[in-house]
Amino acid sequence: MNMVAQPSRLEGRRRALRVTMLGIRGFPDVQGGAEKHAEKLSCALTTLGCEVEAIVRSTYVPKTQKRWYGIAFTRLWAPRISGAEAFVHTFLGVLRAGVHRPDILHLHAIGPAVFAPLARALGLRVIVTHHVLNYENEKWGALARNVLRFGERAGMTFANGRIAVSEDLAAQMVRAYRVPVRAIPNGIDKPRVIDSTNMLQAFGLAPGRYALSVARIDEQKRQLDLIAAYKKLNAPSWRLALAGGADYSTGYANAVAAAARETPGVVMLGHQSGDALAELYSHAGIFVLPSSHEGQPIAVLEAASYGLALILSDIPAHRELAMRGARLIALGDVAGLARELEAFFAAPVPERMAASERDRILAKHDWLNIAQ
């Protein structure tokens, strides 16, 4: 992980601080912003001398994976049913934590935070990290949205400590619940520039001649807007590469797949990670994310670390990143998105993010500093 331990508040403890992560599917290489956050944070905390346990869902982590970079995995069953999966797994995880008594139970996301009151009743010290306003996602019905709002309230009210991944999200929680909330950003690793183009060749992509979007296939990420914008263009030498998979087979995922099939130049890459994803970032011409809401998008930070130009939806999470040179497009403005793509594709020399801006992002979002 290329992490070097620095002096921290953990020095001088008679024993290692024991932290249990709960609320995520699993890691490594499991799709999701909270999953990536928990993976990298766990590695950094381990480097700083903590004993970290991750309670993961059995279908996402193989039985043979007991430890990873010093992190202990505890696999618990959960049903593969949208909505029920996180609920059941977190309930079982809290009960297990009640038996094994970690120093800190760290709950990720507001759905799992529904069980913060139970964890406190069991005498556990609880930290909740709020990643995103999930109840704003168009895919959820009224019941699911109410459960998520209750989870947010339970987490903010009952946790011993509260974290939000952005200043804007933290401020919203302070106003709503009158409790202290610490803003601690997401982090990123230093970019691994991959010279090979094997991945690109397999999907028919040419270096520097594709727009890249990295996100799960979901209403929140608005891939249909992006495909519709690309379809308006006459850009045969530029392709649109969509990296990401759907958590479940849904009407939206099926619609995205159909739109991609019907639009020449759109390439569906599925979920990618590791060297394959690094290769995609290394050779992309531009990065695009037109999502409707975010907490603090790690994919945008990763794209910036590779120096890619950015086209993003004009939402608070993207504005807060304040990345110089990023183009912000009104949410749902397909015509505006098409104009920005067309202008970028037509430029004689493709634009890149300034090196000074890239270095600023890397310094601000260093995982070891975040872990401390």
Which pLDDT score is estimated for 9? 57
Q: What is the pTM of this model?
A: 0.90
* Percentage of the chain modeled with pLDDT above 90: 89
Which pLDDT score is estimated for 349? 87
DSSP string, 104-150: EEEEESTTGGGGHHHHHHTT--EEEEE---GGG-TT--HHHHHHHHH
User: Which structural domains are found in the chain, ordered by start?
Assistant: 18-184 (3.40.50.2000), 198-365 (3.40.50.2000)
Rounding to the nearest 10 degrees, give the CA dihedral for residues 290, 294, 297, 299: -40
Which pLDDT score is estimated for 14? 75
Which pLDDT score is estimated for 5? 46
CA distance 179 to 162: 9
Which pLDDT score is estimated for 249? 75
* 3-state helix/strand/coil string of 197-241: CHHHHHHCCCCCCEEEEECCCCHHHCHHHHHHHHHCCCCCCCEEE
DSSP string, 265-331: TEEEEES--HHHHHHHHHH-SEEEE--S--SS-HHHHHHHHTTBEEEEE--HHHHHH--TT-EEE-T
Which pLDDT score is estimated for 218? 92
Which pLDDT score is estimated for 65? 93
Residue by residue, pLDDT tens for the chain (372 residues) are 555 444 455 666 678 999 999 999 999 989 999 999 999 999 999 999 999 999 999 999 999 999 999 999 999 999 988 879 999 999 999 999 999 999 999 999 999 999 999 999 999 999 999 999 999 988 888 999 999 999 999 999 999 999 999 999 999 999 999 999 999 999 999 999 999 999 999 999 999 999 999 999 999 999 999 999 999 998 778 999 999 998 877 899 999 999 999 999 999 999 999 999 999 999 999 999 999 999 999 999 999 999 999 999 999 999 999 899 899 999 999 999 999 999 999 998 889 999 999 999 999 999 999 999
Q: Are the C-beta atoms of 196 and 205 separated by less than 8 Å?
A: no
CA distance 31 to 214: 10
Q: 262: left (phi > 0), else alpha (psi -120 to 50), else beta?
A: alpha
The residue assigned the tokens 């950015």 is: 310
**Number of Cβ atoms within 10 Å of the Cβ of 42:** 26
